[in-house]
Structure 1
Amino acid sequence: MESERLFRSKKCCWFAFSLILLLIFGNQALAEMRYSVPEEVKDGTVVGNVAKDLGLDKSSLIDRRFRVVSGSKDAFFEVNPDNGALQVRKKIDREELCHGSGSCLMELKILVENPLEMHHIVVEITDVNDHSPSFSETEQAFQIAEHTSPGARFELHAARDPDAGINSIRTYTITSNDHFDIEISQSDEEKIPFLMLKKSLDREQKNKHLLFVTAVDGGKPPRSGTLNVSIIVLDSNDNRPTFSQEIYQIEIQENVPIGTTVTRMHAIDPDEDSNGEIEYSLSKTLARKVYEIFELDSLTGQITLKTALDFEDSEIYRLDVQASDKGQPPLTGRCRVIIKVKDVNDNPPEIEVTSLSNTVSEDSKPGTVISLISVTDKDSGVNGKIISRIINDVPFELKPSYKENIYSVVTKDFLDREEVPQYEITIKATDCGEPPIATISDVNDNSPQFSQSPLYFYLVENNVAGASILSVSAQDNDVNENAAISYHIVRENEVASFLNVNSDNGHITALKSFDFETLKTFHFQVVATDSGAPSLSSNVTVNVFILDQNDNAPVILYPLSSNGSAEGVEEIPRNVNAGHLVTKVRAYDADIGYNGWLLFSLQEPTDHSLFGLDRYTGQIRTLRSFTETDETEHKLVILVKDNGNVSLSATATVIVKLVEPKEAFAASDVKSAAKVDEDDNVTFYLMITLGSVSVLFLISIIVLIAMQCSKSTDYTSKYLQETNYDGTLCHSIQYRSGDKRYMLVGPRMSIGSTIVPGSHANTLVLPDRRRASEEVSKYPYFFIYST
């Protein structure tokens, strides 16, 4: 009786203590409410009216900053401050969110201020039948001996359906046949189909069977997936490998190194030779992650670790292992390996400030709520138990909420602004693991800073498009997410559109190759932003100067032939003196500095003593007078190169022809016209013109004889005057050859007309060929020969 009385007394004390806690913290957090909403609903779908259910006045929701707070970056729900409704913010995929067939619950925190209250809401995401059952492989083949006894079972590939509950796989069916049936085995939470032999096979009657196995879920309407099963009937051994255990259970710590042996299985087969040789393999129906973490040796049956384990990711792994012999057909034995991962204290506590009042009145009473924080640790058990405290000497304290690891920061004394105008509160959260791991809270009060502003970079032109050209870096004195910096470029000019920055490391790549000759410098801005809430940022101006490369070869401007090649012909009199300027080679280089400084050199001269080349100006001059023994034609090859580290060059060819003085005199007057017409039709027009002038010459002789016979002294006015002229000869050319003097007279020629001397006559050449014959016949020339 005494012990019963003590028990009742303890129970009453505990009830009174709980009631006091509820009264103290009742305004900060109320009891949880539950809602449910199907997955895949549209954005804006109303889940329930939270304000109404909480008894809040709808008209004060905006003033009280009625909102949902969450530590997750992906917020699926939001509240409407106008009507207090909880609604879907973005599309929810239950299978992606929960990864399982159990209940899918999301916990939300509803926060209102003035006074500060936090309410916890649980939303259950219900499943809809939006996935069809599917097999990991569309075909499966069996080889079954004809003497196999009825009742034998053969495991089929199990279908997978991400949906849960009634929408998951309900049954399997098989096409109607005489020999096989489907049998379903329930293992944990999944159904494993087996192909069961119900009637003995006869290979002589039929050696192959084709069947279709269909997996059907329980949705309305139901969805299904099909597996093609082929059975080849053969004679084979009659003993299958047998494991020493049907189930192997292993425990392993999550921090074991990669390559560790997890376990070794052993199977025996009483058959001999190839029928008794065993190969181990993992079932093909396992989750993909199992194949990524574990590796099975096909000969020894040893399972080793391929990648690191993480208790927080998965606490248990189930491996279906097969042992097959090498008989015809092979027989298979199966076992299950259950690997339980033991937690170690490898995750530090995380502190999340869900609400913070940056200012507080100095007349606030002790117990005034300043901030709400929540502390989480991904570890489990003792490793996930957290002790939180304020480590600096400030007039504030932590008060726990009714929910574990949720605290309020409240004042514990009266504040005096004149004495201390500002406080910095440091909270330390330590777990109870061995060894314990601690986390100190950080406030995002430092913006990223660049080491220098502005930044200057020098970039050699002709960079590879898509390659990194420079890198920027900023530092943030905060810790954790408050110090995680991302970078982006401000698109303020055209050049910035050709630049990309890696948001994680600040490496900047150019999407095009820059050319110094078109762009010598540019600038852009890079912004560095931390991941705090609210985030802080700073920017820096980056000035880039393009450096010249010797990427442009010299271009010959003169000589330049009509077909674009750097070739020219120069005719000079044979009697010129030393130092006579033959011609000047002109060239241009688009580069600058030494890369654009050109030097000229003479290559392969026919006679080194005849011509000299100025290496800086490109002038070609004679070095001495010509003699009768010198050749009449000299080919000069001029090399023009720049002064780059790897010099680029171009060549020009000048052919110097030595002509007699009289030929040089006539050539100087017609040189430009000879260069204009060099096509295939020139010869034809020259022949016509030569014939016309010859005829005119004969007519002129006849006219002169007639004038002598008539003894007329004013022949120019009698025979040459026309209505369009004033009676005087408008144009004449005179030249002397030896002791003879020649004069060519005639009417004024049109601009561009030239006289080309011939061996027996003179030829008039006009730019317009169609009018050549008309002008020749209209304005005759008189050739006067005198001694």
Structure 2
Amino acid sequence: MITNHFLGLLMLSILQPINALPVAPGNTVNLLGTSQEKDDGRILQRYKRGWMWNQFFLLEEYTGNDNQYVGKLHSNMDRGDGNVKYILTGEGVGSLFLIDENSGDIHATKRLDREERAIYTLHATVVDKRTNETLEADTEFNIKIHDINDNEPKFSKDLYFASVPEMSDVGTSVIQVTATDADDQTYGNSAKLVYSILQGQPYFSVDSDNGTIRTALPNMDRETKENYQVVIQAKDMAGQMGGLSGTTTVSITLSDENDSPPRFANHTFRLSTLESAEVGAAIGRIKANDADVGRNAEMQYSIVDRDGQDMFTIISDQNTQEGVIRVKKQLDYEKQRTYSFKVEVTNTYLDPRFMYSPNPPFKDDAMVRVTIEDVDEPPVFSRNPYIIEVHEDTAAGSFVGVVSARDPDADNNSVKYSIDRHTDLERLFNIDSVNGTITTLKGLDREMSKWHNISVVATEISNPRQTTRVPVFIKVLDVNDNAPEFAMYYETFVCENVQSGQLIQTISAVDTDEPLVGHKFVFSISSSNPNFTIVDNEDNTARILTRRAGFSRREMNTYLLPVVISDNDYPIQSSTSTLTVNVCACDSRGNMQSCNTEALLSAGLSTGALVAILLCVIILLSKYYYQLHWYRQSTALCRAHKALFKRIGNMVPFGRHPNQSQSTQVIFLSLNTQYPIHVLQSGGNYYGLCWTLPQINILHCPEQVCSHKVRRQHLNPLCYSCDSFFFVCIPFIIILQLKIVECRTTR
């Protein structure tokens, strides 16, 4: 904001019109007056024309050697005594703009380009040099760069591409090309452009104001000339001399219009095909020509005669625009040997100008003649496939069904029939080679196989290479020839303390037959059975219940309960299955503890128990054989020792056997003499001697042969009698086996 003391930041161009020339440096500007006085005394008159007091104007692209003068700042506080200092801040100060702090003159140090920057905003402040007190508050002003015509017009592209439909009317717009000029649009004519065409006449013209290119000639035909190169110029200064200009090239293509009809080069086409051609097979191609391109050249073909429509069809190949003729129905040389029909071609996309014409010119037609060639055809079955049903109880040699085939050729040769044995490996069926009657060679069982799929071959007798195969599906119908039976093996148990009416087993049945209405089984047991009864659940299951309370393993440990199961088909089939019921000891909650002896034995002996028993038997046999051998020598040997005992003195008693009345003594002999010691056994008593190098032999002596006992614990364990071994071995085996049975029962 400018104060009342600040009469104005005096600028050289404040009182200068936009098109005025810069004032020479050194001028004194007075805002309150309308005249300026030169140093030489001349007065320059100026008139206000809507000036903006807060702007400087500066021409761009200054080419002088000195700094370019911008303008002068002046304050009424400046008395001319040199005590006032002008300060300039803002954009470019110090680099682009400099100020004389004493005079307030502003200069530009570099050449400025308006296209880079058009306005600079600066701030001016006036202070007292002595006190540095601000005399004039900070004031903002602009330096606006005036434009000169230093930029030529430029198009956005060097090359444009455009298209216009052929045969377009004069003045049809093709494309608009525009150029831009970097000079000031608001100042003079530096950026005012005018467009003109330098190349492309007389076919095209351009609007001088907006650059729109239009057609200048009527009926331009794409088939005559398709592409045009047009050069457009844009010139500034409103097109006046001295203006700058730029050019661009426009490549204009005439787009196709459907102005050319399709035409057949040949109006008669001859084709041939074998009668064996499959339905859908292509038998030939025909083609029409169209001078147009793209979608306008796309054609569609059609058969217009009934004779051809029934047997053939034609489609268009989108890649080649040909008409592909295909077989629609199976051809038969014997029925018809030639076909003639008309084919019509039209454009797929019609030009609206001709759509409502009474006689559309954009189509053509041609005749097609197809010749059918004969081939030797294989026999043809009357059906394909055959499905035959036969009951499973059919005996060997029974009738199954009949197949028939014929030779479709005009000669109608005879055919013979056979079964491909690769499809009947079990040789269940046979076929009459003349009339095609199929019979059974063996009985059929539906439970073994529900379907038999065989292949029957028909062979032309005059030409065995002509054969035809047909599948024959033989379904075996079910006959109720199987009785129902238990779905699985059932074995259960009943507790000794069971109550009457207790459920002990639920049973179910299966039947390999397949009745039409589904299975329905009836379960029953003898009504006189005092122990068990049965309840049919009516869902092909039944419950076995106890009829009485209390069972005893001692009375009967296993019950075999016969159950009769019947089906509901015809004829009714029934069977008897057996339910095994074991009587077991149970706890108060009904959990089985142990079952009868047979159940225990049925668990079997373990391998370890069998090996232990075998070892015991071997040891027993060896022991008794050893005792028998020494018993024969015991009498004589014991008598010899008895005499020896009498001659040995110094016998020292060491104790008495608790179960014997005789004294037991030990004889100490000379250590230098080695005597064998013989331990004598008489019944359950052991006798013997001990010395330094004992050799112990077990002798079996009659009772009371020897009178000197030796304690059992001093003997070798092999001296133990076998009856002691027996009392240890056998209980161990029994305990081991009981543990095994207990484990199995628990599982």
Is TM more than 0.5 here? no
Indicate the TM-score class for this superposition, using the shorter chain for normalisation: under 0.3
Q: Of the two, which has the highest radius of gyration?
A: 2
User: What TM-score, normalized to structure 2?
Assistant: 0.27
User: What TM-score, normalized to structure 1?
Assistant: 0.26
